[in-house]
Amino acid sequence: MKKILVIGATGQIGSELTMKLRSIYGNDAVVCGYIKGAEPKGVLLESGPAAICDVTDAACLDAVVKKYEIDAMFNLAALLSVVAEGKPQLAWKIGVDGLWNVLEVARQNGCSVFTPSSIACFGPETPADNTPQDTIQRPRSIYGVTKVTTELLSDYYFRKYGVDTRSVRFPGLISYVTPPGGGTTDYAVDIYYSAVKGEKFICPIGAGTYMDMMYMPDALNACVQLMEANPDRLIHRNSFNIAAMSFEPNQILAAIQKQVPGFEMEYQVDALKQSIANSWPNSLDDSAARAEWDWKPQFDLDTMTTDMLKNLRAKLG
């Protein structure tokens, strides 16, 4: 990668990924792509180039790619699971129609493309524990439907046109930098904020509900590592299971209580979030990623908890 465009660069993942890529490839080599109403601010705006980049506008996207001589795109444009359920047509327009534009522009301009998938691509018929790399995918949420389509369409463009498409299936992502944006796994971020603020946490996900989770630094490393991987080693492309930890609400509560004695949580289950969570796997088998591009996470629940609490205390004062 020499010149990179991050689409959705002001979002939860994009804002951190843009800065990581700039730290590796140089500030001027990474363009922060955003839409009106979600303009970059602070260091994200000041540290490098930025451009309006709407995936639903193919001409706009093509103009940005040509202007900055882009050779790699990280396409992070999407509505997250809970938000998407309220706006299914918009979720499809951004997640699928938008991807089509991205892939066409990539085909015409010789770009590689990273478009993340998600554990939401699986459904209740999928084996829930140690979910295989290759298995049945019958999601029940519109977010999951768009992610399965993303995987298939990206593979199609690789096989038919030779577009270098690559992807990982993100688990729930936990970060202290950017607030969550409407995902089912957001409780695992919100709980740390409550702990630092000294508030009782109201958990919208029921006890015993396991979901795969990952600390953002590991997720960002996965993006870069996969895009830099030797293509000759890649048997799979769209999309790799990646995993770091799997826990249910009482386990993250216990991890926090080790460092914040007296922290309390009670359950008020959100029916929509719970129904989505129930259709997702408990844990993923990421052996294909480990074998094909040497994937390995650095954080587990305890080390992540230590880092989250330290950084949120500094952030919130």
How does residue 12 score in pLDDT terms, banded at 50, 70 and 90? confident
Q: Are residues 103 and 82 in the same domain?
A: yes
- CA pair distance 123, 63, nearest whole angstrom: 38
Q: Are residues 189 and 224 in the same domain?
A: no
146/270 same-domain check:
no
Half-sphere exposure of 142 (CA within 13 A, CB side): 19
Range of the domain at 262: 172-213+244-316
pLDDT in tens, 190-243: 999 999 999 999 999 999 999 999 999 999 999 999 999 999 999 999 999 999
pLDDT for the residue 279: 86
Contact between 30 and 36 (Cβ < 8 Å): no
Active-site hit among 34, 68, 143, 157: 143
Residues 133 and 190 in one domain: no
Percent of the chain past pLDDT 90, that is, above it, reads: 91
In a shared domain, residues 44 and 85:
yes
Q: Are residues 23 and 154 in the same domain?
A: yes
Determine the pLDDT at residue 29.
98
| pLDDT tops 80 at residue 180 | no
Torsion on CA atoms 183, 187, 189, 192, rounded to nearest 10 = 170
Residues 13 and 141 in one domain: yes
Model confidence at 166: pLDDT above 90: yes
Residues 293 and 160 in one domain: no
Number of domains in the chain: 2
pLDDT of res. 238: 94
Among 241, 257, 277, give the residue marking a domain's end: 241
What pLDDT, on a 0 to 100 scale, did the predictor assign at position 112? 98
The mean per-residue pLDDT over the stretch 130-145 comes to 95
Q: In this model, does residue 184 exceed pLDDT 90?
A: no
Same domain, 40 and 188: no
Tens digit of pLDDT for each residue in 238-291?
999 999 999 999 999 999 999 999 999 999 999 999 998 898 899 999 999 999
CATH code for the domain of 201: 3.40.50.720
Give the model's pLDDT for residue 1.
73
Give 22-81 pLDDT, tens digit per residue.
999 999 999 999 999 999 999 999 999 999 999 999 999 999 999 999 999 999 999 888
Q: How far apart are the first and last CA of the chain?
A: 38
Residues 235 and 253 in one domain: no
Whether 143 is catalytic: yes
164 & 27 share domain: yes
Residue 234 pLDDT: 97
pLDDT given at position 246: 94
Per-residue pLDDT at 231: 96
pLDDT value at residue 113: 98
Do 123 and 207 lie in one domain? The reply is no
